[in-house]
């Protein structure tokens, strides 16, 4: 949230300085003043500085956050005990590797392939698992005690009314 406000302020300042530079430049041309034109050019540099800060921020910050998330969430996951009992399914096993690949031992209700790739930083901070049918999304959660991934699971009844969320817990 705080970074969003910072980016918003930088863009607003860039717009303000751009309008000010164009106004001063227009007045400088109308009065044929070389001094006002120089002031306008120097003022016009500020928007480029502000916008380049925004670009630098997005080039550096998100990849670093995504890499640390991959390191934090890599490991072996098993299906939560409640889901195994309530859905009467075998215990699925999911292994997330540091290099962005995964191995899945389980049924077709989740939609994951036995091998594939995964990435962090998806829409609404979800993890994206690339499969032959497209992309499966998982909601990550981490606290001091548990690291979990939540997937949609098709119970096999055919329509979306029978989709449930199942939980994988890191061992």
Residue 78: which of 154, 16, 147 has the closest Cα?
Answer: 147
User: pTM of whole model > 0.85?
Assistant: no
pLDDT tens-digit series, residues 102-112: 999 877 677 78
- Domain ranges in the chain? 2-71, 74-170
Backbone angles phi, psi at 122, to 5 degrees: -75, -175
Judged by average pLDDT, the poorest of 32-46, 101-115, 150-164 is 150-164
Fold of 74-170: Lipocalin (2.40.128)
């Amino acid at each position: 949230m705080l970074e969003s406000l910072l980016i918003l302020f930088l863009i607003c300042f860039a717009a303000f300085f751009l309008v000010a530079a164009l106004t001063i430049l227009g007045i400088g041309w109308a009065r044929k003043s070389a001094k006002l034109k120089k002031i306008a050019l120097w003022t016009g540099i500020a928007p480029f500085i502000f916008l380049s800060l925004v670009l630098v921020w997005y080039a550096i910050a998100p990849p670093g956050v995504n890499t640390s998330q991959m390191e934090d969430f890599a490991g072996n996951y098993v299906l939560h005990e409640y889901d195994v009992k309530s859905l009467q399914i075998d215990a699925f096993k999911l292994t997330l590797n540091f290099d962005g690949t995964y191995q899945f031992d389980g049924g077709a209700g989740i939609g994951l392939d036995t091998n594939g790739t995964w990435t962090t930083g998806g829409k609404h901070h979800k993890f994206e698992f690339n499969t032959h049918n497209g992309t499966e999304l998982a909601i990550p959660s981490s606290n001091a005690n548990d690291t979990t991934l939540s997937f949609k699971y098709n119970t096999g009844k055919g329509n979306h009314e029978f989709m449930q969320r199942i939980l994988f817990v890191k061992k």
